[in-house]
């Protein structure tokens, strides 16, 4: 595998203006893996480092499309940083699409500055959530302040727009159907779920409702434009620095243009203890509206949000947070259950409480 992408990585590193620790010596250390990529740290001259994400091309087209989607977003953000730097993402240094070649993304190595210690048994505190909300509002405002059409500028390798309000099922159907079939038998094994909750989760995990949740807008909100959303805002994708400020939001391969409160629903539903979530929801909504209002003079798309509308968007989005939590729980390994029983139990309890609240609305 190394020889397959070695020359491409060296070429891209040189094009970005970096020098390897030793000429033509590519020292890679694997530091993680995503759903479609392997993540490596590369040593540079003078003890510097850079992160390289590599996506292998194969017959499952979704891998290439997710890589290309993230590559396009980082390219767009990199161009915007010449004007202003409100977007908390890693610095992007170059890459290549996953079409005929191996997909590669070069970006900043944030590890020396990260201080993440998320635990499901405690969750995010209210102050931490408000910091995340402010950064999400800044990212959305950046998108709303441009006319760059992320929704239509990127086409998948099989021709259909991947980031649109139309459901991108062609070519992805096999992957999501497999995911659905793997999850369905395990839903009834999750502690604390009633039969009605289980039925709802089975209904939501089917591909069409699942994609619809990401882009669905409440009725009578035509003056609020869909905006840039992450769609996979798991706690591990939010990097905090040692001062407990948001350093970066990473792994954007699932992004869409959709419901503005979707990511905030994920932060609240996945990241907080149920009692804390209920106690701070109003403050979170007010913070979001305030952050968007103070920037809307720069918007080039309509975005007339208020407290009432924001609550409606959030209520609609919490279903997606339920699906995210459920998917994480049913994919826990036996090793996870043995080594982290308190964390696993906290996830199940959080899902049951979130489902209760969602089904009341």
| End-to-end C-alpha distance for the chain, whole angstroms | 51
Gap between the Cα atoms of 291 and 160, Å rounded? 34
CA–CA gap between residue 92 and residue 105 (Å, rounded): 8
* 3 — pLDDT class (breaks 50, 70, 90): low
pLDDT at position 357 is 97
pLDDT at 341 over 90: yes
Residue with the two structure tokens 């096999």: 174
CATH code for the structural domain at 113-360: 3.90.1200
Which residues, at least 6 apart from 149, have a Cβ–Cβ distance to it below 8 Å?
none
At residue 334, φ and ψ (nearest 5 deg) are: -60, -35
pLDDT at residue 130 is higher than 80: yes
Domain ranges of the chain: 2-109, 113-360
Locate tokens 């305030």: which residue? 290
Q: CA-CA distances (angstroms) from residue 95 to 7, 54, 128, 244?
A: 13, 10, 32, 30
> In Å, how far from its chain's centre is CA 146?
21
Q: CA–CA separation, 251 vs 236, rounded Å?
A: 10
Provide the strand spans (E) within the chain.
28-33, 38-43, 49-55, 92-96, 103-107, 227-229, 238-240, 246-249, 256-258
pLDDT at 154: 45
- CA 217 to chain CA centroid, nearest Å: 19
Instruction: Tell me the pLDDT band of 210, cut-offs 50, 70 and 90.
Output: confident
- Percentage of the chain beyond pLDDT 90 is 61
26-29-32-35 Cα dihedral, nearest 10 degrees: 30
How many Cα atoms occupy the beta-carbon half-sphere of 267 within 13 Å? 29
Cβ(296)–Cβ(260) under 8 Å?
no
Equal CATH topology for 2-109 and 113-360: no
Looking at the chain, how many residues does it have? 361
Tens-digit pLDDT profile for residues 245-259: 999 999 998 899 999
Question: pLDDT tens-digit profile of 97-109?
Answer: 988 788 999 999 9
Fold (topology level) of 2-109: Phosphorylase Kinase; domain 1 (3.30.200)
- % of residues, the chain, pLDDT over 70: 88
Alpha-carbon distance of 133 to 130, in angstroms, equals 5
Tell me what the mean pLDDT of segment 74-85 comes to: 76
User: According to the model, what pLDDT value does residue 259 have?
Assistant: 96
């Amino acid at each position: 595998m190394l020889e397959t992408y070695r020359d491409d990585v060296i070429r891209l590193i040189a094009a970005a203006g970096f020098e390897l620790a030793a000429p033509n010596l590519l020292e890679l250390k694997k530091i993680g893996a995503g759903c479609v990529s392997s993540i490596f740290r590369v040593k540079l001259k003078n003890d510097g480092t850079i992160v390289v994400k590599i996506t292998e091309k194969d017959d499952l087209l979704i891998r290439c499309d997710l890589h290309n989607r993230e590559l396009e977003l980082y390219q767009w953000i990199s161009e915007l940083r010449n004007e202003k730097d409100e977007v908390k993402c890693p610095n992007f240094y170059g890459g290549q699409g996953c079409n005929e070649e191996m997909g590669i993304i070069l970006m900043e190595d944030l590890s020396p500055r990260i201080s993440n210690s998320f635990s499901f048994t405690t969750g995010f505190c209210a102050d931490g959530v408000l910091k995340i909300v402010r950064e999400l509002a800044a990212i959305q405002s950046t998108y709303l302040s441009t006319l760059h059409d992320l929704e239509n500028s990127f086409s998948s390798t099989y021709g259909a727009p991947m980031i649109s309000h139309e459901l991108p099922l062609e070519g992805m159907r096999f992957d999501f159907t497999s995911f659905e079939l793997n999850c369905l038998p395990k839903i009834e094994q999750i502690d604390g779920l009633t039969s009605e909750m289980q039925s709802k989760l089975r209904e939501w995990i089917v591909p069409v409702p699942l994609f619809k949740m990401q882009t669905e807008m409440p009725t009578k909100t035509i003056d609020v434009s869909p905006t840039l959303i992450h769609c996979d805002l798991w706690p591990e994708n939010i990097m905090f620095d040692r001062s407990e400020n948001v350093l970066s939001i990473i792994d954007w391969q699932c992004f869409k243009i959709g419901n503005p409160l979707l990511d905030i629903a994920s932060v609240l539903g996945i990241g907080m203890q149920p009692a804390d979530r209920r106690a701070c929801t109003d403050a979170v909504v007010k913070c979001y509206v305030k952050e968007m209002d103070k920037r809307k003079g720069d918007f080039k798309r309509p975005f007339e949000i208020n407290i009432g509308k924001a609550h409606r968007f959030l209520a609609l989005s919490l279903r997606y947070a339920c699906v995210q939590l459920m998917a994480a729980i049913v994919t826990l390994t036996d090793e996870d259950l043995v080594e982290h029983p308190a964390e696993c139990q906290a996830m199940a309890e959080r899902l049951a409480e979130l489902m209760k609240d969602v089904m009341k609305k």
